[in-house]
Structure 1
Amino acid sequence: MKIQGKICRVFVFLLATSATYTEAQEDWRNIDWGEFMVRIGLSYVAPNDAGTSLKYRVLQQWDLYNTTWELDTAQTWQISGVWRPSDRWGFELMHINSASYGVSLDNFTGNTGSSQIKLGDFKASTTLAFANWYFLDPSYIARPYLGAGINYTDFHTVSISRQFNEYLIDSDMSVAPGSFNMGHSWDWALQGGVDFNLDFRQFQYPLLINLAALYYLSDTDPTVNFPTELGSDRLYAHFDYDPWILNLGVGTKF
């Protein structure tokens, strides 16, 4: 009975201590979590477009020897969210959606009278995570920042051109149409930008305008797969996407 009495007293003591501790904690609704921002806008994407010539695993295909990749710039949309737990630091998650490209090969010698052939099309979607450092405190209308982080780039909606399929068949490399494949990549990212806080009338949700320039590393190993009389074969290349991006976004904070 003495032992049971001691256990009861310890139990009552723990309950009382827990209640006191709970009352001492600040309500989570009153904690200063910092600022949250959401933005949506447009992206202008200028890819590096450095790609090696397509070749077999060991041997070089003569018509494709010394070919170079040619891509145009792209325009797409982007969305981002930022959490600023302090005046100087912010953590940003951004998605740049489905920039579309057509790939042509220059210095191609397989067609008489033309030094270029259309290889195919693809789209690139990138999700980025940044840690940003802000140079000025929140009292300024314009707040420049620098950020560093990582990116995941997915090369999707990939298709081979009819022209390149015809070349594969006409040159007796393939017995039927082939496929163009790209893959995905993980790598580093950098950005610099400025947020403009247009909160002149102290609206509940002020208007924000963002301008930013991004550069990130992204590379993949594309292949062209095709059937042959003996089974199948493929051509290999290495592609450095490595784009420069200009973002213009609008949003709000809360």
Structure 2
Amino acid sequence: MKRMLKFPPILAPLALAFSSSVSAGTLGLSGPQDFIVRVGGYYIDPREDKVSFVDDTFQFFDAFRSTVDPGSEWGWSINLEWKPIEHWGIELGYMDGDKHTSSHADVFFSPGFENVEFRDVVSFDADISTMSLKFYPLDDTCMVQPYIGGGISYTDFGDSSVSRALRDDLAEFGLRGNFDMGYSWGYTWQVGMDFNFGRESAWLVNVAAVYARSVTDMRIQLLDDVPPPPDVEPFFESYSGDYIYDPWMFNLSVGYKFSF
């Protein structure tokens, strides 16, 4: 599985579509259109999941279940919202995640191989892009603007690696390990609130709770430490399973409103 481009592919075509709609007036809107840009940080809290791994090579059939419990991390976020009419907005968001690691008190990734349990076996990061339709129940004159929203999400998993402890354990058996994850489309929903600095001010502070759900393929490969001849299969063993990544993200950001 190849890692996608660092910049989320969902943003570019959607942003182009929005700008085209505004400039061409395809929605029949007249007058200036309102936009909000928000930039800030967030705390991401992934939830534990049980992954059922199956044997990809069909040489060994000792499939196993694993607990995947990534530690909580911090990241930064940016979003652009277009409000074509009162009470409604369309938001494109991007959340850049730090690498998920695990403290000694947590079981990050614990596959069972013949009653042997590994802890903190792998690590990865997740970059999340979203497109949401948002509803604001209050009119635009209110200084406090609560909202709810929902839409689609795209999660790009990258920077995945096997821990040094596992590499050392595998080396004792003449093996090396490889860990890989793909990307996934899913859904998202959120609830939040904008606090305007004043009725005539363009600046605001935003707090929000965002949920995103995706399902991706998680693969662990065990390979011979010494590469085999070209006509020999390089894999000693390979396992894969579907992993549900559904974190909560709690955002705090500063925003700026403008029209054109």
TM-score range, shorter chain: 0.7 to 0.9
Segments of 5+ residues of structure 2 without an aligned counterpart are 1-24, 103-107
CA distance in 2, matches of 1:32, 1:196: 25
Equivalent pairs counted in the alignment come to 215
Q: CA deviation at 1:215?
A: 1.0
**Mapping 1:91-106, distance limit 5 Å:** 91-102=90-101, 104-106=108-110
Q: Which moved more, 1:143-152 or 1:50-59?
A: 50-59
Corresponding position of 1:168: 170
Cα deviation 1:103-149 (Å, max 9, x = unaligned):
6334746687xx44221111100110111111010111111111111
Query: Is this contact kept in 2: 1:92–1:132, CA < 8 A?
Result: yes
Query: Is this contact kept in 2: 1:39–1:80, CA < 8 A?
Result: yes
Larger Rg over CA atoms: 1
Cα deviation 1:87-113 (Å, max 9, x = unaligned):
11101011000232026334746687x
Q: Helix, strand or coil for the counterpart of 1:188?
A: strand
Query: Is this contact kept in 1: 2:110–2:121, CA < 8 A?
Result: no
Corresponding position of 1:149: 151
CA distance in 1, matches of 2:53, 2:101: 16
Match for 2:246: what amino acid? D
Q: CA deviation at 1:216?
A: 1.6
Q: CA deviation at 1:53?
A: 4.8
Q: Helix, strand or coil for the counterpart of 1:217?
A: strand
Percent identity of paired positions between Structure 1 and Structure 2: 30
Query: Is this contact kept in 1: 2:194–2:204, CA < 8 A?
Result: yes
Q: Helix, strand or coil for the counterpart of 1:93?
A: strand
CA distance in 1, matches of 2:92, 2:133: 9
Shift in alpha-carbon separation, 1:182–1:51, aligned structure 2, 3 A: farther
What is the root-mean-square deviation in Å for CA atoms of aligned residues?
2.4
CA distance in 2, matches of 1:250, 1:130: 19
Corresponding position of 1:139: 141
CA distance in 2, matches of 1:49, 1:184: 19
Q: CA deviation at 1:213?
A: 0.9
Query: Is this contact kept in 1: 2:118–2:166, CA < 8 A?
Result: no
Q: CA deviation at 1:186?
A: 0.2
Give the TM-score taking structure 1 as reference length: 0.76
Corresponding position of 1:231: 234
Give 2:218's match in structure 1, choosing from 192, 207, 222.
222
Shift in alpha-carbon separation, 1:117–1:55, aligned structure 2, 3 A: farther
Q: CA deviation at 1:167?
A: 3.0
